[in-house]
A and B are shown apart, each in its own frame.
Chain A
Amino acid sequence: MSKTTTEMALDLDAKRLSVVEPGTRVDVQGDLSDEARVEKAMTNFVKDFGRVTATYMEACIHCGACAHACPFYEASGNPRHTPIWKLEPFKQAYKREAGPLAFFYKAFNLKKNVTLDELKEWQELLYDTCTMCGRCTLICPMSIDIATLVGMARHGMFHAGLVPHELYTVTEKAQREGSPLGATPQVFEDRVEWMGDEHEVDMHMNEDQADVLVLMSSIEIQKYPESMAATAKILNQMGKSWTFRTDGYEATNFGMLSGNTGWQKEMSMKVIGTAEKIGAKLVILPECGHAYQALRWQGANMYGKSLPFKIQHISEFLADAVDSGSIKLKPVNKSVAFHDPCQVSRRGGATQAPRKVLEALGVELIESKSGGSMNTCCGGGGGVITIHRADTLRYKVMGAKFRQLDETGAEMMVTSCSNCRQNFDDSSEKLNWDKQMNSLLELVADNLVEEAEK
């Protein structure tokens, strides 16, 4: 029984302190001094100040058009979410340290040194509100590749110990355990075996030699394990020499997403080394967006020389397969709207591949108003989905996405990225979306004309 008193009267008319808008928490890792953090940020910023970066940083004319292509700005209306503004400390550092007029900017202090407060304030802008989707580049009159530069700016942020907490945690876990979501090699092996049994599919695991090395993302391993069965089914149908490997399977690269190039390289080298070891001619990336970016476009640069094998996103592989007639598909008589994963279509260059597959599936593809390479990002990639304080904005972005897809009037929604799919699933629960996002890979596997049936 509580102790109570009637001595102290309640003054209901007195002014109360309330929180109108909660401040953003700034996450800090490690116990570096303030100066050391700034120093580390600068050390890693300057490594990226090359000719291309410099061109982009010089080219901006402050027109602000980029804001109107960014799904985060469109959802929040907050000018701080203007894409080029996300790069402001990076840009200032460039102009002060490596630009052609750097000497004068420094001498007369016309461009200030980056401060820790600035970097802290920018944590939200570089991580929470940017998936590096690159839509801003489409609208920029100067064609500035802001997305790539955001990735570079993250290098400085990581080493300064300024990564959002959850993103840092999964990254560190991935570095330590091999997977951000606990899909360790053992777990991977177990679940592959389970899928093999469950779907009666021949799983090739840890073969010494194979033409094709298949990678999976932890999201699929843990949340959509049917993808593994689907991939196996198709490859077996095609009679390919392929394998999974427990020493090189993780397609996601949280080193890249968080900004640690050292870890990014290690994570990439795991799969590259394995592919080399088994003499693979082709590495298939699963339904994942940033995985494609990490290996297909940044892998060789991590490696230091051209890769000795081809790399394809699973949708590209399937497109080739239907093109060459290696697989035949049963018709799916539905109307479909396709959500393009930004890193595969606009940033990756494989926009047509999924469409070829959908065509082979005989669906009626209805393009959304700003679709294909101009697709609006789902807002979950690049690590954003791991950051819980970004949820509110992410749901707003997804709200716009749902409206966009609903507008097509299509019966079925399809995508080819598990992170997008995860985002759709999570958001549709919160926003009561009446449809479901489907995987292109699983759709193909489900409608594969199998050997026995021919």
Chain B
Amino acid sequence: MKEHALTLGEELRRQGVSRRSFLKYCSVVAASMAIPATMVPAMAASLAQARRQSVIWMSYQECTACIESLTRAFAPTVENLIFNFISLDFQHALQAAAGDQAVEALHKAMEENWGKYLVLVDGSIPLKDDGIYSTSHGQTHLESLREVAEGAAAIVSIGTCAAYGGVGAARPNPTGAVGVDEIITDKPILNVPGCPPIPEVMTGVLTSFLAFGELPAVDALKRPSAFFSDTIHDRCYRRPFYDQGKFAKTFDDEGARKGWCLYELGCKGPITHNACATMKFNQGVSWPIQSGHGCLGCSEPNFWDKDSFYKPLSAGQWGSAEGIAVAAAAGVALGAASAVMSRKNQDKISGGK
């Protein structure tokens, strides 16, 4: 059982974070989420009063990269402190406990915070064969999700797998994997897609939830608009090269070395919504295009199945080449048939040649 829980403000003060640093953090987060500067004081006051938020993190059919991304840190940062502040009551990859003990902790957390806990999910949920393809502790993840979601205040699907099915759902989708919102339909759900997502997007979403008690504004795919309304293409630093018609044609040619646009090498930037171009990864160190590889479109549904990563966006998605030959042959047949019909018709009308 917990002793008197500290508010976030008290906790941060205890850790030696000055009020000024805290306010600075709030400004940064507000700016990144396009929240007006005038709201920063209210946000800070609210955050400072926030109590430890119970967070239950369920990992299903996933590769763990989302957790790696979000917990990877060079040095303690305010974000990390925020993470420490939330009561991460269950996370089977990170926690020390295992087995029955762990499950007991989960159920206790759910009971004690019923209706108020936030559920974070990463990994897709298989549906085929009653969901047998992904289980923990003898329970399918399908059953687990339904159980955990019941008392949740809201659910955040972290990563493309939890949001849309991700790599598990890629053709031919042998496990019948789907994203969270195809199973849970009666709770507020927010998607933070990406393979993996940007850590700062996650903390931004959490901070927003802590400060305002509700999930931020979302787009049609339930992604926070603050981070997902622009396409990579619209914010890409290589965009001038696209406009000028300067493209890298192979991965090590002169254009590639000069940092030219990667459209011809398959970059899906124009149809991918994410904040990679502005926020980047590893606290602003780099991101795929800066490293010289085209955007895979990993924050979009079904990105694995949209043809090759190295085929340009404008290249067609061909079924088979034989189709064209069939069309031509059919055309010849129809043409010959129509000519025969025409000749017969001509003879009929003219009463012989």
- B338 x A100 contact (CB < 8 A): yes
CB of B119, distance to nearest CB on chain A (Å) = 59
CB contacts (< 8 Å) of B341 on chain A: these are: 102-103
B335 interface residue (CB < 8 Å to A): yes
- B338 x A42 contact (CB < 8 A): no
Q: Contact partner of A102 among B335, B342, B353, CB < 8 A?
A: B342
Q: Contact partner of A46 among B335, B339, B346, CB < 8 A?
A: B346
- What are 24 A-B residue pairs whose CB atoms fall within 8 Å in the complex? A42-B349, A43-B349, A43-B350, A46-B350, A47-B346, A47-B353, A97-B342, A97-B345, A97-B346, A97-B349, A98-B342, A98-B345, A98-B346, A99-B338, A100-B334, A100-B338, A100-B339, A100-B342, A102-B338, A102-B341, A102-B342, A102-B345, A103-B338, A103-B341
A49 interface residue (CB < 8 Å to B): yes
Complex: A45 Cα to B234 Cα, angstroms: 62
Q: How many residues of B contact A (CB 8 A)?
A: 13
A44 interface residue (CB < 8 Å to B): yes
- A99 x B342 contact (CB < 8 A): yes
B76 interface residue (CB < 8 Å to A): no
- B342 x A49 contact (CB < 8 A): yes
Complex: A103 Cα to B339 Cα, angstroms: 11
A63 interface residue (CB < 8 Å to B): no
Complex: A97 Cα to B343 Cα, angstroms: 9
Interface of B is mostly: helix
- A49 x B346 contact (CB < 8 A): yes
Residue of A nearest to B345 (CB): A97
Q: Which residues of B contact A (CB under 8 A)?
A: 334-335, 338-339, 341-343, 345-346, 349-351, 353
Residue of A nearest to B347 (CB): A46
Q: Contact partner of B335 among A42, A47, A100, CB < 8 A?
A: A100
Interface string of A51-70 (1 = CB under 8 A from B): 00000000000000000000
- B339 x A43 contact (CB < 8 A): no
CB contacts (< 8 Å) of A101 on chain B: these are: 338
CB contacts (< 8 Å) of B345 on chain A: these are: 46, 97-98, 102
Which of A46, A97, A102, A103 is the most central at the interface, judged by chain B CB atoms within 10 Å of its CB?
Answer: A46
CB contacts (< 8 Å) of B339 on chain A: these are: 100
CB contacts (< 8 Å) of B351 on chain A: these are: 43
Residue of B nearest to A49 (CB): B346
Complex: A259 Cα to B346 Cα, angstroms: 19
Query: Which 10 residue pairs spanning A and B have beta carbons closest together?
Result: A98-B342, A46-B346, A100-B338, A46-B349, A43-B350, A47-B350, A46-B350, A97-B345, A42-B349, A98-B346
CB of A100, distance to nearest CB on chain B (Å) = 4
Complex: A98 Cα to B349 Cα, angstroms: 11
CB contacts (< 8 Å) of A44 on chain B: these are: 350
Residue of B nearest to A54 (CB): B342
CB of B341, distance to nearest CB on chain A (Å) = 6
CB contacts (< 8 Å) of B353 on chain A: these are: 47
CB of A252, distance to nearest CB on chain B (Å) = 27
Residue of B nearest to A100 (CB): B338
CB contacts (< 8 Å) of A102 on chain B: these are: 338, 341-342, 345
CB contacts (< 8 Å) of A43 on chain B: these are: 349-351
Complex: A436 Cα to B334 Cα, angstroms: 60
CB contacts (< 8 Å) of A98 on chain B: these are: 342-343, 345-346
Which of B335, B349, B350, B351 is the most central at the interface, judged by chain A CB atoms within 10 Å of its CB?
Answer: B349
Complex: A43 Cα to B335 Cα, angstroms: 23
Q: Which of A89-141 contact B (CB under 8 A)?
A: 97-103
CB contacts (< 8 Å) of B343 on chain A: these are: 98
Complex: A44 Cα to B351 Cα, angstroms: 10
CB contacts (< 8 Å) of A103 on chain B: these are: 338, 341
CB contacts (< 8 Å) of A47 on chain B: these are: 346, 350, 353
Known: A42-B349, A49-B342, A100-B338; 7 extra A-B contacts, CB below 8 A, are: A43-B350, A44-B350, A46-B346, A49-B346, A97-B345, A98-B345, A100-B339
CB contacts (< 8 Å) of B338 on chain A: these are: 99-103
CB of B75, distance to nearest CB on chain A (Å) = 72
